[in-house]
Amino acid sequence: MSRSLSHLFVALSATLVMGTVQAEEIKVAVAANFTAPIQEIAASFEKDTGNKVVASFGPTGGLYTQIKNGAPFQVFLSADDRTPAKLETEGDTVKDTRFTYAVGKLVLWSPKEDYVDAKGDVLKKADFQHLSIANPKTAPYGLAATQVLGKLNLLETLQPKIVEGNNISQAYQFVASGNAELGFVALSQVFKNGKLTGGSSWMVPQTMYDPIMQDAVILKDSKGARALVAYLKGPKAAAIIKSYGYDLKK
């Protein structure tokens, strides 16, 4: 082998080794409502950067408890802005890394066609056995659901019919499986590429509940964590996020 080819071989080998060393496995705590979008974003991110996202899903309150108990997450994608802000004040985040990655929307949904009307009057008729919501104490979408019912003066009336999921994924499963006729879920769970994926729904006016500003923050600094956060702010992630019905912060 000539000296020039030998040098080229060494240089290419070094580049490959450096690429392998630089690739990271990033542990991310993700609010349950963002399950489908982050899986799509993670696949795109891994293809573009070589870094791998290892996501753990759950209710925001539950993820907060895991973080406080020492879970080795590097990035936290919350379903609200309060929990990351709280971690920030408690000294558990990397300074100046918190930002709003998505603005969530609440929808009343049933897999049955023509069951939920466009104004949500089905709630007032109350001719159903079970209404599914996420736990309002740990899941921001569950809290939003109780705020809507409160605005409609239906919270006390419908309380006996309410079934609570531990998180928004379980609340959705109660409805999708038929164990509840309808439920308040995240729009992202029943929406893709500009349309409802099935069933019937009432898009709850965002004036009826506190804004669901979903914030992300870095918990443990690394090049991989920084790269993921930068990617979440970029155009490819933005397109995926919007395709699931989320708004982006203006």
In the chain, % of residues over pLDDT 90:
87
CATH code, domain carrying 195: 3.40.190.10
99 with 218, same domain?
yes
56 with 31, same domain?
yes
Question: Which DSSP symbol is given to 28?
Answer: E
Predicted pLDDT of residue 84? 98
73 with 149, same domain?
no
How do residues 165-195 score in pLDDT, each as one tens digit? 999 999 999 999 999 999 999 999 999 888 8
Domain membership flag for residue 249: no
What does the DSSP assignment read for 11-34?
HHHHHHHHHHHH--EEEEEEEGGG
Predicted pLDDT of residue 151? 97
Which two three-digit tokens encode residue 11? Answer: 């240089």
Mean pLDDT of 58-73: 96
Q: What is the C-alpha separation between 114 and 102, in angstroms, rounded?
A: 29
For residue 28, what are the domain limits?
A: 3-103+212-243
99 with 219, same domain?
yes
Predicted pLDDT of residue 29? 98
**pTM of the model as a whole:** 0.85
Domain membership flag for residue 23: yes
Mapped onto helix, strand or coil, the DSSP state of residue 12 is: helix
How do residues 209-246 score in pLDDT, each as one tens digit? 999 999 999 999 999 999 999 999 999 999 999 999 99
110 with 97, same domain?
no
233 with 148, same domain?
no
How do residues 7-17 score in pLDDT, each as one tens digit? 444 444 444 44
Domain membership flag for residue 116: yes
Instruction: Tally Cβ neighbours within 10 Å of residue 64.
Output: 23
Average pLDDT value for the chain: 92
Q: How many separate domains does the chain show?
A: 2
Domain membership flag for residue 82: yes
Mapped onto helix, strand or coil, the DSSP state of residue 67 is: helix
Domain membership flag for residue 158: yes
Which two three-digit tokens encode residue 201? Answer: 């729904």
